[in-house]
Structure 1
Amino acid sequence: MTSAELESARAGDESAFASLIAPFRRELHVHCYRIVGSVDDADEVMQEVLLAAWQGLPGFEGRSSLRTWLYRIATTRSLNMRREQGRRPRPAPPPPFELPAPGDRFELGNLQPYPEVLLSELDPAARAVARETIELAFVVALQRMPPRQTAVLILCDVLAFTAAEAADMLSISSTAVKGLLQRARSAKPSPAPRVNSTGYLELARQFADAFSRDDVDAVLALLTDECWLAMPPAVESYVGRDAVGDFLRASASGRPGGSYTLLPVQAGGRPAFVCYLQGRARGLMVIEPSLDGHRIESIMRFLDDRLHRHYGTPDTLP
């Protein structure tokens, strides 16, 4: 950023503003995503952030860096979105077959995984940090925290802002930040194994092969005893190998249109698959490894039929 560029942007030069903001757009989008847990909602928040930055830039006095100022705007707008999500949860599509009785509920209806392809816009160091902190288990944990705990954990532990800087962004005291951070750290999930190991990639390949053939027994053989399956935005959740098996068998026998074709992508830091039924995109599936990386701990089947467009895959297959 140059002072001339900043002054031009303040004077209403849109191209200067775009150039000023460009280095921060993707990292701000990832930041918004971590707080709101949804790519679509992060897109919406980013539009608000850019508008607020454009309108507020004449008043930017440089007491902090431009990056810190932008993060303050993005954090505030993301927390507003978190509150809005509670008032307008995404509706779940009606199931095309009779569901077995669920054993639990999954209450994160707005949750979506982050497409790893979007991280290519970051520099290598930022990409490594982003990849670890968009992992689906981590994002699920963030969404289950109170919103300000989520924001403080991200600002301090992920982005390395000081407690004083986080306090200024959130308009609270440094003491309050430290208390929120302590509680948030106690709720963080355990680190998951790296997914680029040969063993886990082979496990993902075996899962895709079995799932696309509706070979339920072969799928179940790859799962842990404590496995679970959820289908955001639906609230039904199935816990344990027997319950997951009941659901998969009901799906295989009652689903109109035959078996799925799975197209591999990377989502939420994990192997994932765009699901195609009769050649048309039908949502996305992400599998999470167990801590030892030898089995699959969870299956998350996202029922949004537009989600594949974030991954650059086609609406239909030949």
Structure 2
Amino acid sequence: MTGDLITRVRNGDGEAFRELTDPYRRELHVHCYRILGSMQDAEDALQETLVSAWQGLDGFQERSSVRTWLYRIATNRCLKALRSAGRRPQTGGPVPGFDPPEPTRLGKVEWLEPYPDILLANRVDTAPGPGQRYEAKESISLAFVTAVQLLPPRQRAVLILRDVLEFPTREVAHIMDTTEQSVAGALKRARTTLRQRPSPSAVPEPPPSNSAAERELVIRFTRAFEVGDVDGLVALLTDDVWLTMPPLPLEYQGRDLAARFHAAVTFRRGRTYRLAATRANGQPAFGMYVPDPEAGVCHANGLMVLTLAGSRIRAMTRFEKEVLRSFRLPLTLPYPAEAGRSAEA
């Protein structure tokens, strides 16, 4: 069947090309996202991959599977993107519009973007085996994607191909156009670097997705956040919680700094919010909207992604409002009726 499709594609059949590549598009997009950390960059790399595959099918000698061949193209497109000068934003200057507390540190992954769960549904990603090191949920989490961004590009690609996608070393060497010895060395160095992260076993497991426990935590978070209840919000956080906000490099750790930041910035001058629930990177997320009584609508403000640990929140990651379109969320919401009644009273 595949041979017939390849023959048709070589004869210029565009529909056959779509039939040949469609089964792999979603997993290739996730692969590019893991390497690049950006939805837009991943989309660009995927489109370049498909164009290269269409133009280069005559060179496909069928010594490997179509899937491996596409991963070879996609990985090299990503590595080329990482070599491109000036692709990363520089946003380390003053933050306009508010005076935040002194951060714990400045982050290095300012280009990070969230990945909508609606694009993860029913994807073909891995063929899990006994040697798989990263479960599907962990391998798309913001913590994992952020951590791999700090690896050198080739180590990053090797780690994802071997430990997430479980390609054999021989196939990874083919994909990366290198030797098995080089792959083994890069993988060893990448694993050593990632072991310096906090051990997952030392962190309480998050409640299962869409479970009663997760829903209860989401309800409590929503109630506190929408009315600007800083004390109620901080009560839901772990002692070592992290607040991050790419592309701004500011990062805050601990409940005290979280309270100070939310009081000074998030809920400044009595600001309140409406939240629209969604999911990103396998985690609860919310479109954030600020009510505008004069206009009678709520304007988009950003996207918040929560990382949970047991019955607490151990990370809050805020993204700019531009990412909302990837989540099919609007730029405005209706003004809450209860707010209108309160104003009239």
State the TM-score, normalized to the length of structure 2: 0.84
What aligned pairs does 1:282-293 form with structure 2 within 5 A after superposition?
A: 282-290=301-309, 293=310
**Using a 3 Å threshold, how does the CA distance of structure 1 residues 101 and 295 change in structure 2: closer, same or farther?**
same
What aligned pairs does 1:85-124 form with structure 2 within 5 A after superposition?
A: 87-89=87-89, 94-122=95-123
Task: Report the 3-state secondary structure (helix = DSSP H, G, I; strand = E; otherwise coil) of the residue aligned with 1:317.
Answer: strand
CA separation in 1, counterparts of 2:12 and 2:126?
A: 33
**Using a 3 Å threshold, how does the CA distance of structure 1 residues 199 and 313 change in structure 2: closer, same or farther?**
same
CA separation in 1, counterparts of 2:45 and 2:207?
A: 30
Q: After superposition, give the CA deviation of every residue in 1:65-96 in whole Å (9 maximum; x if it has no partner).
A: 11100000011111222333764326589543
Question: 2:313: which partner in 1?
Answer: 296
Partner AA of 1:41 in structure 2: D
Task: Report the 3-state secondary structure (helix = DSSP H, G, I; strand = E; otherwise coil) of the residue aligned with 1:169.
Answer: helix
Partner AA of 1:36 in structure 2: L
CA separation in 2, counterparts of 1:45 and 1:125?
A: 20
CA separation in 2, counterparts of 1:231 and 1:47?
A: 28
Question: 1:236: which partner in 2?
Answer: 250
Higher mean displacement: 9-18 or 77-86: 77-86
- The yes-or-no answer on 1:153 pairing with 2:159 is yes
CA separation in 1, counterparts of 2:119 and 2:48?
A: 20
Q: After superposition, give the CA deviation of every residue in 1:228-283 in whole Å (9 maximum; x if it has no partner).
A: 11110001111111111111001245369x31211111101111111112312222
Give the Å deviation of 1:113.
Answer: 1.6
CA separation in 2, counterparts of 1:162 and 1:274?
A: 40
State the TM-score, normalized to the length of structure 1: 0.91
Question: 2:338: which partner in 1?
Answer: none
RMSD: 2.4
Task: Report the 3-state secondary structure (helix = DSSP H, G, I; strand = E; otherwise coil) of the residue aligned with 2:241.
Answer: strand
Task: Report the 3-state secondary structure (helix = DSSP H, G, I; strand = E; otherwise coil) of the residue aligned with 1:306.
Answer: helix
Task: Report the 3-state secondary structure (helix = DSSP H, G, I; strand = E; otherwise coil) of the residue aligned with 1:101.
Answer: coil
For structure 2, the residue ranges without an aligned partner over 5 or more in a row are: 129-133, 292-297, 335-345
Partner AA of 2:308 in structure 1: P
**Using a 3 Å threshold, how does the CA distance of structure 1 residues 159 and 32 change in structure 2: closer, same or farther?**
same
What aligned pairs does 1:1-318 form with structure 2 within 5 A after superposition?
A: 1-84=1-84, 87-89=87-89, 94-122=95-123, 130-186=136-192, 187=194, 190-191=199-200, 192-196=205-209, 197-252=211-266, 254=268, 258-278=271-291, 279-290=298-309, 293-303=310-320, 305-318=321-334
Question: 2:131: which partner in 1?
Answer: none
Identical-residue share of aligned pairs (%): 47
Partner AA of 1:234 in structure 2: L
**Using a 3 Å threshold, how does the CA distance of structure 1 residues 286 and 204 change in structure 2: closer, same or farther?**
same
Give the Å deviation of 1:130.
Answer: 4.2
Partner AA of 1:71 in structure 2: Y
Give the Å deviation of 1:142.
Answer: 1.2
In terms of Rg, which structure is larger?
A: 2
Task: Report the 3-state secondary structure (helix = DSSP H, G, I; strand = E; otherwise coil) of the residue aligned with 1:79.
Answer: helix
CA separation in 1, counterparts of 2:104 and 2:126?
A: 42
Q: How many residues align?
A: 314
Give the Å deviation of 1:126.
Answer: 6.9
Report if aligned partners of 1:228, 1:298 keep a CA contact under 8 Å in 2.
yes
Partner AA of 1:31 in structure 2: H
CA separation in 2, counterparts of 1:85 and 1:223?
A: 39
For structure 1, the residue ranges without an aligned partner over 5 or more in a row are: none
**Using a 3 Å threshold, how does the CA distance of structure 1 residues 6 and 72 change in structure 2: closer, same or farther?**
same
Partner AA of 1:261 in structure 2: R
Report if aligned partners of 1:131, 1:269 keep a CA contact under 8 Å in 2.
yes
CA separation in 2, counterparts of 1:58 and 1:125?
A: 27
Report if aligned partners of 2:277, 2:285 keep a CA contact under 8 Å in 1.
yes
Q: After superposition, give the CA deviation of every residue in 1:151-196 in whole Å (9 maximum; x if it has no partner).
A: 1111111212111111121122211211221232231554453542
Partner AA of 1:299 in structure 2: M
Give the Å deviation of 1:206.
Answer: 1.1
CA separation in 1, counterparts of 2:97 and 2:127?
A: 42
Report if aligned partners of 1:195, 1:201 keep a CA contact under 8 Å in 2.
no
CA separation in 1, counterparts of 2:284 and 2:96?
A: 25
**Using a 3 Å threshold, how does the CA distance of structure 1 residues 283 and 121 change in structure 2: closer, same or farther?**
same
Task: Report the 3-state secondary structure (helix = DSSP H, G, I; strand = E; otherwise coil) of the residue aligned with 2:111.
Answer: coil
Partner AA of 2:151 in structure 1: M
Partner AA of 1:227 in structure 2: V
Report if aligned partners of 1:32, 1:46 keep a CA contact under 8 Å in 2.
yes
Q: After superposition, give the CA deviation of every residue in 1:90-125 in whole Å (9 maximum; x if it has no partner).
A: 658954322222221111111012111112242597
Report if aligned partners of 1:116, 1:131 keep a CA contact under 8 Å in 2.
no
Report if aligned partners of 1:227, 1:241 keep a CA contact under 8 Å in 2.
yes
